[in-house]
Amino acid sequence: MAEKKIMFNDAMEQLEEIVRQLEQGDVPLEQALTLYQKGMELSKVCHDKLQNAESQLVTMMKDGKEVPIDIEMGGNAK
């Protein structure tokens, strides 16, 4: 999918623009559906990139050892 090559910040900006347009409430139904679909695709791209970043963080090296990072505990290493 071509969307996977988009940078995270670019995807977020496009997603925010779609949300802004949909929140205005004056978008025709057909265009709203198209925007919604594009937004869902961008949301998946952002989610996948965040998961990849999380995986990289979990395996970061600390003091020469791999230390798992408990993301749900505020990112502090266990």
pLDDT score, position 57: 77
pLDDT score, position 59: 74
CA distance 3 to 49: 11
**Predicted TM-score of the model (pTM):** 0.70
17-23 long-range contacts (CB < 8 A, ≥24 apart) are: 18/42
pLDDT score, position 12: 97
pLDDT score, position 34: 98
Averages of pLDDT over runs of 10 residues in the chain (78 residues) are 75 97 94 97 96 80 62 54
pLDDT score, position 63: 59
pLDDT score, position 55: 81
